[in-house]
């Protein structure tokens, strides 16, 4: 097992070591949560053809691309690859699953194996992660549909109303919006793809936009986990409704 570098603990103030959790706790939690989420998602996408209940549509199945073209098999598959590509090429998740699944290394200041031929993300399959900026555009299109679904979730057969499903889909759209617009690649885009702002001499609009997105980007990891949980919760709720296991609770 990897060992923490001595130098990191040597520079730590005395007495603080006891308060820190072991370096392997975070990657282990990541591995369990992401692993269960991936298994759940595969079960949902490959074993169900629809994720709808009345006016609710699960985020895994929106937009219903399969239905547009009359394809009735594995409807979730036509669209679910977009958020998957977006999440798994996300800079934040990369750090998390490189640590959690590859354990390579599992944390900062932890010894890594010497790797003379390490090519990082310059070669297949990790080079695939360089598609992240393009995945952002696709994820943005999906996000627009998720907002449409969130609004639609408040309009039942008998008119406007609020159900638990309406709130879950709304919260999901909000959290995904924060996740999408706090993205590192999006910040780079609005910043004009520059490497040097001070070279412009005075603050430009792109610099101000870059600064604004930076303030959201600080919490990108929080939005990443919160939106993962909201997608999961919204889908599970709609799945249980469609299976007749639970009944929708209408608040009014």
Q: Residues in the site for ligand FES, rule: CB under 6 A?
A: 90-92, 132, 183-185, 220
For the CB of residue 128, give the shortest distance to ligand FES in the complex, in Å: 14
In the complex with ligand FES, which residue's Cβ is closer, 71 or 140?
140
Of 67 and 184, nearer to ligand FES (C-beta) is 184
Compute the least distance from the CB of residue 235 to ligand FES, in Å. Answer: 20
- Cβ proximity to ligand FES, 139 vs 164, nearer residue: 139
Query: From the CB of 231, what's the least distance to ligand FES, in Å?
Result: 14
Quote the least distance from Cβ 228 to ligand FES, whole Å: 11
To the nearest whole angstrom, how small is the minimum distance from the Cβ of residue 153 to ligand FES? 24
Which CB atom, from 48 or from 132, has the smaller least distance to ligand FES? 132
Instruction: State how far the Cα of 237 lies from the Cα of 57, in Å rounded to an integer.
Output: 10
Residue 117 sits at the vertex; the CA angle it makes with 35 and 25, to the nearest 5 degrees, is 30
By C-alpha distance, which of 79, 88, 92 is closest to 187? 92
CB 34, CB 97: distance < 8 Å: yes
Q: What span, in angstroms and rounded, lies between the C-alpha atoms of 251 and 164?
A: 7
Cβ neighbors of 98 (< 8 A, separation 6 or more) are: 104
Q: In angstroms, what is the minimal distance from the CB of 126 to ligand FES? A: 15
Asked whether the CA dihedral 123, 81, 87, 109 is positive or negative, the reply is negative
- The residue among 91 and 197 lying less far from ligand FES, judged by its C-beta, is 91
Closer by beta carbon to ligand FES, 53 or else 93: 93
Task: Report residue 149 as tokens.
Answer: 């679904």
Q: 115 phi and psi, to 5 degrees? A: -140, 85
CB of 236 to ligand FES, least distance (A): 23
Q: How far apart are CA 175 and CA 179, in angstroms?
A: 6
The per-residue DSSP string of 29-45 comes to: HHHHHHHHHHHHHHHHH
**Angular region, 15: left φ>0, alpha ψ -120 to 50, beta rest:** left
Among residues 46 and 134, whose Cβ is nearest to ligand FES? 134
């Amino acid at each position: 097992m990897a060992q923490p570098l001595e130098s990191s603990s040597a520079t730590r103030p005395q007495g603080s070591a006891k308060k820190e959790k072991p370096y392997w706790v975070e990657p282990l939690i990541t591995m369990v949560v992401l692993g269960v989420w991936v298994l759940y998602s595969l079960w949902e996408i490959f074993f169900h053809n629809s994720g709808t209940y009345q006016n609710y549509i699960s985020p895994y199945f929106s937009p219903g691309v399969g239905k547009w073209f009359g394809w009735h098999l594995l409807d979730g598959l036509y669209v679910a690859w977009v958020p998957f590509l977006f999440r798994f090429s996300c800079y934040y998740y990369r750090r998390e699953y490189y640590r959690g699944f590859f354990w390579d290394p599992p944390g900062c200041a932890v010894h890594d194996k010497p790797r003379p031929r390490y090519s990082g993300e310059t070669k297949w399959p990790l080079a695939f992660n360089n598609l992240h900026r393009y995945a952002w555009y696709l994820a943005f299109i999906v996000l627009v549909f998720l907002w449409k679904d969130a609004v639609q979730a408040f309009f039942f057969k008998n008119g406007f109303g609020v159900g638990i499903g309406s709130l879950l889909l709304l919260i999901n759209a909000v959290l995904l919006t924060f996740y999408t617009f706090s993205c590192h690649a999006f910040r780079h885009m609005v910043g004009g793809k520059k490497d040097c702002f001070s070279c412009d001499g005075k603050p430009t609009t792109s610099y101000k936009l870059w600064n604004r997105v930076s303030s959201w980007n600080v919490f990108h990891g929080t939005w990443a986990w919160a939106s993962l949980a909201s997608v999961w919760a919204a889908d599970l709720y709609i799945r249980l409704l469609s299976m007749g296991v639970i009944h929708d609770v209408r608040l009014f």
